[in-house]
Amino acid sequence: MPTIILNKKVFEKLVGKKLSEEKLKERISYLGTDLESIEGNEIHVEVFPNRPDMLSEQGFSRAFSTFVGTKKGMAEFKVEKSGEKVVIDKSLKDIRPYTACAIIKNLRFDDEKIREIVQIQEKLHVTYGRNRKKAAIGIYPYERIKPPVYFFAGDPKKVRFIPLESDREMTGLEILSKHPAGREYAHLMEGLDKFAFFRDSEGKILSMTPITNSHDTGKITEETKEVFVECSGFDFDVLSICLNIIVTALSDMGGKIYSMDLEYPDRKLTTPNLSPKKMKLDLDYINRRIGLSIKESEAKRLLERMGYGYEKKNVLVPAYRADILHQADLAEDIAIAYGYENLKEDIPQVSTIGQEDELNVFARKAAEALTGLGLIETNTYNLIDKDVQTGMCNVDMGVVELIDPVSSEYNSLRKWIIPSLLSVLKDNKHNEYPQRIFNIGTIFKKDKKNRTESGVSEAVRLGVMLCSRTAGFTEIKQVLDFLMRMLDIDYSISETEHDSFIPGRVGRVSVKGKDVAYIGEIHPNVLENFDLDMPVSCFELNLSDLHEAIQR
């Protein structure tokens, strides 16, 4: 979890109340964050990843001030029209297709405010932006820019500018090898013939996103009074929230927010949009989840204490909150406002003896064996892009799709583990080889026999993947041999076919007559789809079926 350093004087001024150090420690912890220490004028706080809006003095103070009662309800922000525009070129479609932008005026920067801006930008890059892959942020002195701004894809061998904190002009390609940020994030540009750039109407380059700003037009100083802010990436909704987090922080610094018109090839949009999202409050659900019986008036009071608005049985969710997706999220915040320390313990009137689930014990033994063999365990999401687990893997299979996905990256439940591991390899091409990884997780399939209420059945599977110049069937079979020997299980392999694997280099693993795994070498077409240059061999083992087979 990210740790931020809050300036205590700035924090107390924004909150509007000075608390004793003991009370400050208590209240910060009760808010749902983890206070690490208070050292002089510095407050070190660990913020959970689901609250990127709290990664700054301004955002944290905004949440804290309503929690301790110095302010009430949802903060309101005014957005004025600037009349300026950003033109997004169609050439960015497969590179970095979206951006959300704004202008902030009437700012007064000093060393402290510049530190605060750098901190929120860096923390958002690492967490919400997934190390700039999901979202990259640029903040520029607007006085040095001549609008309109153009977002385009350019030839990195030809586009030249002076990168931030450098003293000489470089091409885009030179920046990747000679500039510190270029070397750190060069892996994000692999396989691209063109890079994404921002420029103004006079042709001055503002930045090469997601790598670095220009030193001439992208460095904030104490003389800066107006800034142009952009967030670029692959999901417009994600970028909009990211922009909202930044502009509201700048507004709390005293700035005035101005919108910009975005001219996409097929539509026109205006950002930022700071209108709150409405969610119908399901009070019965809230009470069941928390174990209370609060009335609507009490729920309204508690929601306002957590920075929400409330209107005609609808909760008004601030535009900078990225974590509110379901009634369960509202229930969590109401519980925080009510106070976990005030919830009464209720001992069940049942006498039982606790015992760890046998399948979990079995899975842990498998993980320990693989870790002992030198493999690295990864954790991946249950949600995945449908195309990643079907089209990119050369297979046509029915998967459980979400009706209203928040993002196209997570529009279906995963049906198997191998696509997730291939995505991990794709994201780690910049790390050294060999890469030997495994993942134990839940997979989801449509329940054709209607044995479940949801129509979806679940199973626990183990995926193991080797990636190196020498990765082949023999090497992955040696890993399977070792694992089965450690688990004291006899197995057999028979020839089979699978479109994700190389024909003749794939087998079906059986235990006591039950098919429990596929093993083999990944097909070159699949490797190409995931931009992988090294051979990959793997197996996917159904731990639920395997455990059931040996239990019988």
3-state SS assignment for residue 362: helix
How would residue 211 be classed by pLDDT, with cut points 50, 70 and 90? very high
Q: Give, as one character, the DSSP assignment of residue 272.
A: -
Q: Where are the beta strands (DSSP E) in 447-549?
A: 456-467, 492-495, 501-511, 514-522, 536-542
Within 13 Å, how many C-alpha atoms sit on residue 228's CB side?
Answer: 27
Task: Give 28-60 as a DSSP string.
Answer: HHHTT-EEEEEETTEEEEE--TT-GGGSSHHHH
Looking at residue 50, what is its pLDDT? 87
Looking at residue 408, what is its pLDDT? 77
State the average pLDDT over residues 375-387. Answer: 93
Is a pLDDT exceeding 70 seen at residue 471?
Answer: yes
Is a pLDDT exceeding 80 seen at residue 316?
Answer: yes
CA distance 110 to 127: 26
For residue 5, which of 29, 48, 37 has the smallest C-alpha distance?
A: 37
Q: Yes or no: say if 193 and 210 are a contact pair by the CB < 8 Å rule.
A: no
Provide the token pair at 287: 């009470």
Q: End-to-end distance of the chain based on CA atoms, in angstroms?
A: 43
Q: List Cβ neighbours of 24 (8 Å cut-off, separation of 6 or more).
A: 38, 43
CA distance 89 to 57: 36
CA distance 352 to 336: 30
Q: Yes or no: say if 289 and 328 are a contact pair by the CB < 8 Å rule.
A: yes
CA distance 88 to 271: 14
Longest Cα separation, the chain: 76
CA distance 520 to 508: 9
The type of residue at 381 is Y
- CATH class held by domain 3-67: alpha beta
Is a pLDDT exceeding 90 seen at residue 349?
Answer: no
3-state SS assignment for residue 450: coil
Instruction: Determine the distance from the C-alpha atom of residue 300 to the mean position of all C-alpha atoms in its chain, rounded to a whole number.
Output: 30
Q: Yes or no: say if 399 and 385 are a contact pair by the CB < 8 Å rule.
A: no
Where does residue 128 rank: exposed (0-12), middle (13-18), buried (19+ CB within 10 A)?
Answer: buried
Q: Yes or no: say if 139 and 121 are a contact pair by the CB < 8 Å rule.
A: yes
For residue 320, which of 32, 38, 52, 47 has the smallest C-alpha distance?
A: 52
Looking at residue 351, what is its pLDDT? 77
CA distance 172 to 536: 32
The third-level CATH classification (topology) of the domain covering 79-271 is Phenylalanyl-tRNA Synthetase; Chain B, domain 3 (3.50.40)
The third-level CATH classification (topology) of the domain covering 277-338 is Phenylalanyl-tRNA Synthetase; Chain B, domain 1 (3.30.56)
Task: Report the predicted TM-score, pTM, of the whole model to 2 decimal places.
Answer: 0.74
Where in the chain are all domains bearing CATH 3.30.56.10? 3-67, 277-338
For residue 63, which of 282, 295, 333, 271 has the smallest C-alpha distance?
A: 333
Looking at residue 356, what is its pLDDT? 86
Looking at residue 452, what is its pLDDT? 67
Where in the chain are all domains bearing CATH 3.30.930.10? 358-551
For residue 120, which of 30, 205, 220 has the smallest C-alpha distance?
A: 220
Task: Give 73-97 as a DSSP string.
Answer: S-----EEEEEEEEEEPGGGTTT--
Name the packing angle between helices 283-290 and 296-305 (round to 10°): 70
Looking at residue 415, what is its pLDDT? 94
Is a pLDDT exceeding 90 seen at residue 549?
Answer: no
Q: Yes or no: say if 150 and 199 are a contact pair by the CB < 8 Å rule.
A: yes
99 beta partners: 232
Looking at residue 467, what is its pLDDT? 96
Q: Cβ–Cβ contacts within 10 Å for residue 146, how many? A: 12
* Superfamily of segment(s) 358-551: Bira Bifunctional Protein; Domain 2 (3.30.930.10)
Provide the token pair at 453: 């209420």
Is a pLDDT exceeding 90 seen at residue 454?
Answer: no
Q: List Cβ neighbours of 76 (8 Å cut-off, separation of 6 or more).
A: none
For residue 423, which of 301, 261, 547, 531 has the smallest C-alpha distance?
A: 531
Where in the chain are all domains bearing CATH 3.50.40.10? 79-271
Q: Sign of the C-alpha dihedral, residues 51, 54, 60, 63?
A: negative
Provide the token pair at 179: 């500039």
pLDDT in tens, 112-153: 999 999 999 999 999 999 999 999 999 999 999 999 999 999
Strands 98-105 and 227-233, bridge-based pairing: antiparallel
Q: Give, as one character, the DSSP assignment of residue 345.
A: P
pLDDT in tens, 36-71: 888 888 889 888 888 999 999 999 999 999 998 899
Strands 376-377 and 435-446, bridge-based pairing: parallel
